[in-house]
Amino acid sequence: MGARLSKKSEISSIDYSSPGGNVPPPGKPPRSWWAGTLAGNGRIVAVIAVAAWLGYMMEGPDSWAGAQSRMFMLMAIGVIMAVSLQLINGVCGQFSLGHAGFMAVGAYISGYASLTYNALDPGDLSTRYQNVAQVALYLVTLALVVTLVGAILGAVFLAIRQSRHLWRNLPPILMLVILAWFTWDFSAAFDFEKAPSYFIWTNIIRGLGTLFHAMLDHGMPHARAISLLLPVVIRRPLCFIVLLIGGGSFAAAAGLLVGLPTLRLRGDYLAIATLGFAQILIVIFTNSTPLGGATGLSVAPFANSANPDRDPVAHYIFPWIMALMVITIVAVWRIAYSPKGRMIRAVSEDEVAASAVGISTTRQKVTAFVVGAFFAGVGGTLYVHSEGYVNAEQSFGINQSLLYVVMVTLGGLGSISGAIVAGAILTMLPFLFRQLASDQQIPSWLQNVFEHQLALFALVLIVMMLLRPRGLLGGRELWWRRRNRNLQAAPAAGATV
Amino acid sequence: MHLFFQQLINGLSLGAIYALIAVGYTMVYGVLRLINFAHGDVYMFGAMMGVYLLAGDFSTYGAIVAHPLFAVPTALLGIAILIALSILKYKGISSPPWLAWIGKVVAAVALSVLTMEIAGRLIHWIGLPSWISFAITMLAAMIVCGALGFVIELMAYRPLRNRPRIAVLITAIGVSMFLEYGGQAIFGATPKTFPHVVPIAATQTHVAGEIAPNFVIHGITIGYIDVMIIVITLALMVVLRWIVMGTRTGMALRAVSFRFDTASLMGINIDRIVSITFVLGSMLAAAAGVLIAARTPKVDPLMGLMPGIKAFVAAVLGGIGNIPGAVAGGFVLGLVEVLVQAYIPMGSQYKDAIAFIILIAILLVKPTGLFGRTLVEKV
């Protein structure tokens, strides 16, 4: 990439502004942010609307089997995940192996909120997904409590960090002491019904829990009243928007939490640390009783069908998924090919050089991580509400995380269109193989081969990687001309790992 | 204290298993800078081979491989190709690379088929004492997995040697998935039971009404199998140490892991050393697989995923690329995991998280691991 950017003439000849991107000409008075965004991004809004409309139209009355519709939804979610991971792995060059963990955060938080609070009247199915305010209240309260926990822990860590001025080796020692205290506190207080006051940590946790429940208990009746005030038409869309933003924000917070300590690691170490964090999240979700434990979380899904004969109650999710896919692509695109994106790319090219020219590398890395995690959370929210069921181990396990990395790499590191293509193809392949396995037209021995979709999938992966080691597009976008092979070959080599 | 010593034994035997796998990870990483994700699945393959050898029931696909009409011609072909290649080399005639490539793959397959055939006949035809048949099983599994590691490196990693490392990593993920799901296709997804034909394979529990053989010292039960795991691990480590520190090949291996390019300038055949690294690592993983199958007799195609990643954590813990470090890391990880399960409430539910918590802690405090060297980046 560096080689390409060094020539000025080439910058002007490449069309980076794919959808939209109108910059108001100089000289005119600046418009307000909203007006400017709407006017400048008219084409983007139109594309999103068209995607949603297409998604709505894609539901034929009976022509589509459920599996087909499901395949397209999973493809779109796969594209969301691949594109958001491309921002971290490809554009920023930070090799994250834990993307499914962020997806799990979004899926579980929003899934639990919608499972518990989405109905105005729990007995009446037709009021599902109408209780906007209660869902919002739950998410906000949870965010407040989580922030409080974060503040307490952050204060403790900062204090420990400051202790290095006293003695260089004090912070690790204090860390160990605090860790031992934590462990002793929790394991000893386990035996008490009401822990004595000297179990500080246990009492803090219990106190926060009490606070959380008190806030919810006091707020919920009012929230229900507010939900009833809203017009019926906008309740469901608004409820889903709240869920999406909530799921995304919690995933972004998780991204920040994971990113801040780990991003100073490099290459393989970062990869394995993110993998570890994702795995810890999965273990926590698997063992938490309110979230369904090992059996998984079942949520009343938005219907996969717009046909009122099939499901009169729920809201049709396909347009949402399509629109959010486009929004994700556009957002990641606008970040990747903006001045900010150039800074992020500079970090992926050479961290030392980037910091030497005054780029705050940590800031760029954390930005990429948080934005990527946000969209992963959105993808998780869409996943749980379209599938209706998630299981931490199966839906978001190591293999899923690896699959998203495979998508990004196979598409070509740094190429957003490559991630779109690879995300769609790799999600489709198992469905295709499954369909072929039950196809009566082909001979039975071939059917037997297609029975083992995942092994075949792995084989395709190995062969594709052997044939095109730099990914399908190798750092270009789909429509960039392959001007100079030697120059084009440079970017992927700069990637870490 | 009683419980503590009991758990100490369990932790040591679990740690020995992690150490055996971690050594393979750390050797491959030291030479190629590659996280070999397929390593855990080689361990699974070793356990699977052990089950097949001892139980002696081959499913449909296995029956083809084990059938003499397949095994004997393959073995003969492989031996013929090997002899032909070595004659060509002795005569100084360079054979075309594709021929050598195919020859090596066929020879490796032939070697493993022949090993399985001979070991199976020995075990089931000549009723040997059980400990000898267990030893034969382990050796055979090690040879087969060594050949598997050789073939994996030859087919999947060598063509990508000079490509970006990320491409090799993705290929490793692909190979891992292929072994897992291909294993499901061939061996079946249901867990298989490691047979009790070997009395030493019994765990501490009562198996089939008979009391499993254990030492009991001061009320602490020490299973034969735990002692065996630890002793065999230590013996293998001694052998490995001799290979790495005491032979010319080992010296070449150390040189390659020190500076890849410079080593080739010194006349070291890099391809051969990389192959040897993979073969050694895979053999150790196979030993670990057979031992763990004897200890907890459930073997299924996905069993390699978690231990594989935990062993990688152990390798990072000890400083990746450092063989004694990997052994130490494996033992530390096994001990901590078992002790946490024993002493912290709900610890057994969170046992899979322990390894990763340790990993993150060590990465944040000392990213080079316990014994790793600090590398200064030169600009």
Q: Is A154 an 8 Å CB contact of chain B?
A: no
Top mean-pLDDT range of A172-176, A334-338, B357-361: A334-338
Minimum mean pLDDT range among A46-55, A384-393, B233-242 = A46-55
CB contacts of B189 in chain A (<8 Å) are: none
Output the pLDDT for position B357.
86
Q: Each residue of B153-197: pLDDT tens digit?
A: 999 999 888 888 888 888 998 999 999 988 888 888 888 887 765
Q: Do residues A142 and A150 touch, judged by C-beta distance below 8 A? A: no
Q: Give the span between the Cα atoms of B46 and B37, in whole angstroms.
A: 16
A405 close to B (CB below 8 A) = yes
Number of A–B residue contacts, CB under 8 Å:
144
Residues 6 or more apart from B10 whose CB is under 8 A from it?
B226, B338
State the average pLDDT over residues B62-82: 72
**CB proximity A462 to B under 8 Å:** yes
Beta strands at B220-223 and B214-217: parallel, antiparallel or unpaired: antiparallel
pLDDT at B377 over 60: no
User: Are the beta carbons of B273 and B31 closer than 8 angstroms?
Assistant: yes
The answer to whether A451 contacts B360, with C-beta atoms less than 8 Å apart, is no
Q: What mean pLDDT value characterizes chain B? A: 83
Under an 8 A CB cutoff, do B363 and A284 touch?
A: no
In this complex, is the C-beta atom of A451 within 8 Å of any C-beta atom belonging to chain B? yes
pLDDT band for position A61 (cuts 50, 70, 90): very low
Dist. CA A246–CA B337, nearest whole Å: 35
Q: Which among B166, B178, B350 has the least Cβ separation from residue A287? A: B350
Q: How far apart are CA A139 and CA A153, in angstroms?
A: 21
Residues of A with Cβ-Cβ distance to B363 under 8 angstroms: 262, 265, 269, 272-273
Buried b (16+ CB within 10 A) or exposed e, A244-281: bbbbbbbbbbbbebbbeebbebbbbbbbbbbbbbbbbb
Tell me the angle at which helices A267-287 and A232-262 cross, rounded to the nearest 10 degrees: 130
| Terminal C-alpha separation, chain A | 17
**CB proximity B216 to A under 8 Å:** no
Report CA-CA distances (Å) from A291 to A22, A112, A386, B81, B354: 45, 7, 18, 59, 21
Buried b (16+ CB within 10 A) or exposed e, B115-124: bbbebbebbe
Is A497 an 8 Å CB contact of chain B? yes
Q: What is the mean pLDDT of residues A75-96?
A: 92
Between residues B190 and A3, which one has the greater pLDDT?
Answer: B190
Note the pLDDT tens digit of each residue in A247-306.
999 999 999 988 888 887 777 778 888 988 999 999 999 988 888 888 888 887 776 555
Query: Does pLDDT of A313 surpass 80?
Result: no
DSSP for residue B244: H
Chain B touched by A229 (CB under 8 Å): no
Asked if A402 has any chain B CB less than 8 Å from its own CB, the reply is: yes
Beta-carbon separation of B377 and A352 below 8 A: yes
pLDDT score recorded for residue A307: 57
* Residue A165 pLDDT level (bands cut at 50, 70, 90): confident
Contact A344, A369 (CB under 8 A): no
The Cα A222–Cα A241 span in angstroms is 20
**Structure confidence at residue A388 (pLDDT):** 85
C-beta separation of A111 from A382 below 8 A:
no
Residue of A nearest to B377 (CA): A352
Q: What is the Cα–Cα distance from A87 to A102, expressed in whole angstroms?
A: 14
Look at residue A319 and tell me whether its pLDDT is greater than 70: yes
Counting runs of H as helices and runs of E as strands, what totals does chain B give?
14, 4
- What is the per-residue pLDDT across A403-439, written as a single tens digit (0 to 9) for each? 898 889 888 888 899 999 999 988 988 888 887 877 7
Q: Where are the alpha helices (DSSP H) in A294-360?
A: 318-336, 339-349, 351-356
Which of B35, B36, B356, B370 has the highest number of chain A CBs within 10 A, making it the mutation to test binding with A? B356
d(CA B333, CA B310): 8
Distance, C-alpha B206 to centroid of its chain: 29
- B-chain residues near A262 (CB < 8 A): 360, 363-364
**Chain B contact for A493, CB < 8 A?**
yes
Q: Which of A20, A15, A23 is nearest to A42 (CA)?
A: A20
Residue B63 confidence (pLDDT) above 60 = no
What are the beta bridge partners of residue B298?
Answer: B193
Mean confidence (pLDDT) of chain A: 81
B1 or B314: which leads in pLDDT: B314
Interface test with A, best of B170, B176, B313, B339 (most A CBs within 10 A): B170
For residues A253 and A116, what is the distance between their CA atoms, to the nearest angstrom?
Answer: 22
Using CB atoms, which residue from B171, B305, B312 is nearest to A465? B171
Which pLDDT score, from 0 to 100, does residue A33 have? 62
CA dihedral of B311, B316, B322, B325, whole degrees rounded to 10: -70
**Residue pair A108/A120 in contact by the 8 Å Cβ criterion:** no
Percentage of chain B modeled with pLDDT above 90: 34
Q: Is the pLDDT of residue B43 over 80?
A: yes
- Taking 50 as the threshold, does the pLDDT of residue B211 lie above it? no
Residues of chain A found within 8 Å of residue B177, distances taken between Cβ atoms: 399, 402, 454-455, 457-458, 461
Sign of CA dihedral B150, B154, B156, B160: positive
Helix (H, G, I), strand (E, B) or coil at B209: coil
Tell me what percent of the residues of chain B surpass a pLDDT of 70. 89
Mean pLDDT of B346-355: 80
Residue position matching structure tokens 């983007």: A44
Helix segments in A337-477, DSSP class H: 339-349, 351-356, 361-387, 392-395, 398-411, 416-437, 444-451, 453-467
Give backbone dihedrals phi and psi of A98, rounded to 5 degrees, phi first. -120, 35
Q: Which residues of B touch A459 (CB under 8 A)?
A: 174, 178
- All residues at 6 or more sequence positions from A467 whose CB lies less than 8 Å from its CB, including other chains: none
Which pLDDT score, from 0 to 100, does residue A4 have? 47
The proportion of chain A whose per-residue pLDDT surpasses 70, expressed as a percent, equals 82
At residue A197, the pLDDT reads: 73
Which site among B34, B36, B41, B166 would you substitute to test the A interface, given the most A Cβ atoms closer than 10 Å to its Cβ? B166
pLDDT for residue B379: 53
> What gap in Å lies between CA A137 and CA B120, rounded to an integer?
66
Q: Is the pLDDT of residue A68 over 80?
A: no
DSSP bridge partners of A297: A390
Q: Which residues contact B240 (CB under 8 A, 6 or more apart)?
A: B23, B280, B284, B323
CB contact under 8 A, A352 and B379: yes
Neighbours of B322 (CB within 10 A): 23
User: What's the gap in Å between the CA of A163 and the closest CA on chain B?
Assistant: 15
Query: By the CB < 8 Å criterion, does A180 face chain B?
Result: no
Where is pLDDT greater, at A69 or B340?
Answer: B340
Residues 278-337 of B with CB under 8 A from A: 305, 309, 312-313, 316, 320
Residue A10 has pLDDT above 50, yes or no: no
- On chain A, the residues whose CB falls within 8 A of the CB of B37 are 402
Q: Check pLDDT > 50 for residue A487.
A: no
| Percent of chain A scoring above 90 in pLDDT | 25
Closest Cβ–Cβ partner in A175, A455, A462 for B171 = A462
The pLDDT assigned to A12 comes to: 47
For residues A336 and A481, is the Cβ–Cβ distance under 8 A? no
Mutation to test the B interface, candidates A286, A459, A465, A467, most B Cβ within 10 Å = A465
Asked if B359 lies within 8 A of A273 by C-beta distance, the reply is yes
Q: Is A175 on the interface with B (CB under 8 A)?
A: yes
Which residues in chain A are contacts of B175 at CB distance < 8 A? 458, 462
CA distance A413 to B165: 12
Evaluate if residue A484 carries a pLDDT over 60.
no
Question: CB A187 to CB B344 under 8 A?
Answer: yes
Q: Say what angle helices A170-189 and A200-229 make with each other, to 10 degrees.
A: 70
Average pLDDT over residues A220-239: 88
Summarised one tens digit per residue, pLDDT across range B234-271 is 999 999 999 999 999 999 999 998 888 899 899 999 99
With beta carbons less than 8 A apart as the criterion, state whether B344 and A187 touch: yes
B376 pLDDT more than 60: no
Q: How confident is the model at residue B206 (pLDDT cuts 50, 70, 90)?
A: very low
Residue-wise pLDDT tens digits, A455-474? 888 888 888 888 888 877 77
ipTM: 0.83
pLDDT at A43: 75
> Which of A276, A406, A409 is opposite residue B360, by nearest beta carbon?
A276
> What is the enclosing helix (H) or strand (E) of A389?
strand A389-390
Chain B residue with minimal CA distance to A169?
B365
Rounded to whole angstroms, how far apart are CA atoms B61 and B194? 19
Please compute the mean of the pLDDT values over residues B114-141 and round it to a whole number. 82
Listed by number, the residues of chain A in 37-56 with a beta carbon closer than 8 Å to a beta carbon of chain B are none
The model's confidence at residue B314, banded by pLDDT at 50, 70 and 90, is very high
- Of residues A14 and B5, more confidence is placed in B5
CB < 8 Å to A405, chain B: 170, 173
Nearest chain B residue to A470 by CA: give it: B167
Please report the pLDDT score of residue B97 as a whole number.
78
Backbone angles phi, psi at A189, to 5 degrees: -70, -10
Name the nearest CA neighbour of B292 among B324, B340, B330.
B330
Nearest to A465 among B33, B174, B364 (CB): B174
Q: Determine, for residues A398 and B305 on separate chains, whether the beta-carbon distance falls below 8 Å.
A: yes
Task: Give B313's contacts in chain A (Cβ within 8 Å).
Answer: 272, 276
Q: What is the DSSP string of A49-114?
A: HHHHHHHHHT--SSSS-HHHHHHHHHHHHHHHHHHHHIIIIIIS------HHHHHHHHHHHHHHHH
The amino acid at residue B55 is A
pLDDT 10s digits, B13-28 = 999 999 999 999 999 9
**A175 — pLDDT class (breaks 50, 70, 90):** confident
Q: Tell me what pLDDT residue A31 has.
A: 62
A415 near B CB under 8 A: no
Query: Any idea how long chain A is?
Result: 497
Give whichever of A482-496, B14-28, B80-94, B104-118 has the largest mean pLDDT: B14-28
The dihedral of CA B93, B98, B104, B110: what is its sign? negative
B73/A contact by beta carbon, under 8 A: no
The widest CA-to-CA distance across chain B, in whole angstroms, is 69
Inform me whether the C-beta atom of residue A196 falls under 8 Å from chain B C-beta atoms: no
Interface check for A273 against chain B (CB to CB < 8 A): the answer is yes
Q: Is residue B96 pLDDT above 80, yes or no?
A: no
| Both tokens assigned to B124 | 């089931």
Tell me which amino acid residue A254 is. Answer: A
Banded pLDDT at B282 (limits 50, 70, 90)? very high
